[in-house]
Amino acid sequence: MDNTLTAAFLGLLEGLTEFLPVSSTGHLLLAGHFLDFQSPGRTFEVVIQLGAILALFSVYATLILRLLLRARHEAAARRSLVSLLLAFLPAVFVGFLAHGFVKSVLFETPMLIAVVLILGGFVLLVIDRIAPVPVHTDALALPLRKSLAIGFCQTLALVPGVSRSGATIVGALLMGVEKRAAAEFSFLLSLPTMGAAVVYDLYQNRDILDFAAIWDIAVGFGVAFLTALLVVRWVLNFISKHGYALFGWWRIIVGSVALTALWLGY
C-alpha cells in the first residue's frame, strides 16, 4: 500500500477508535503488524493521537473553560476538577513505572492484543446487560472515591487491546454511573491522560524520533482529527440509545479475524 494511503488509513483508524471502547492502540498495532508498518520511535503513531486529542478538546473546550472560571467561586466546580484529577493520578503512577515493559513487550505481542480484544468484547456484552441501575447521571458530580476507582480501572488500558475508554466506562457502569455519563467522564478524563501519555512518550523517544516522513504524519494527523471530531459528536447519542453491545461485537470480530490471521502465519 502507498505510504500516503497507509497514513490516511491509520489516521482513520485512530480517529474512529480512540474514543470508542474498542482500543485504538490495539487496532493500530495490529494494523501496523499486518501492513508491515512501524515508524522509528513510533513517531507516526504517537503524533496522530494528538489529532484525536485536539478533536476532543475542540468539542469540550467551552465546557472546560466554564468549569475553570466557575472553580474560582463555586465549590461544585472545584470538586469536579478534583474528581478528574483523582481519576487521572493512578494512570500517571502506574504508567510511569510500567512504561518500558509496556512498550518493549506488550506492544510487540500481536497475539496478546487479539486475545484481549476478544475477551474485552465479551466483558462489554455482559456488562451492558448486568450493569446495576444507575444512580449517577452527571459526569461532573461523581463521588470522589468512585472517580478514584475509575482511575484505577483506567490503568488496565496499559495492556494494548484493553481500551482506555472501555476500562473506564466498564468501571463506571459497575459503580452505578449512567451510560452516557460514563462515556462523558471517560472522554473528559482522556484529555489529561492522553495528553500526558503523548508528551511523556515523545520525551522518552526524543533521541530516535523521526519526522522525515512529515507528509505522511500530517495526513494521518489530519484524518485522525476530522474522524475523531465526528465520532465524539455521534457516540454519546448512540450510547444513550443503544448501549455498548455493538462495540463488544466489534471487538470480538476484529480480535477473531486477527487471531485467525496470526495462526495462519500472517
HEC profile of 159-201: CCCCCHHHHHHHHHHHCCECHHHHHHHHHHHHHHHHHHHHHHH
Specify the number of domains making up the chain: 1
By residue count, the chain amounts to 266
CA distances from 100 to 52, 116, 158 (A): 24, 20, 11
122, part of any domain: no
Tell me the backbone φ, ψ of residue 4, rounded to 5 degrees: -65, -40
Check residue 41 and give its pLDDT. 59
The number of beta carbons lying within 10 Å of the beta carbon of residue 243 is 18
pLDDT over 80 (residue 211):
no
Structural domain harbouring 145: 3-30+42-110+131-244
Q: Strand, coil or helix: what is 107?
A: helix
121 belongs to a structural domain: no
233 is a domain residue: yes
In a domain, 256, yes or no: no
Do the domain assignments include residue 148? yes
CA distance 161 to 153: 14
Is residue 99 one of the residues assigned to a domain?
yes
Q: How many CB atoms lie within 10 A of CB 3?
A: 12
Whether 205 shows a pLDDT value over 80: the answer reads no
Distance CA 142, CA 185 (A): 9
- Evaluate whether residue 204 is within a structural domain: yes
161-189 residue pLDDT tens:
898 899 999 999 999 999 999 999 999 99
Give residue-wise pLDDT tens across range 76-119: 999 999 999 999 999 989 988 877 777 777 777 889 999 999 99
Say whether 136 sits in a helix, a strand or coil: strand
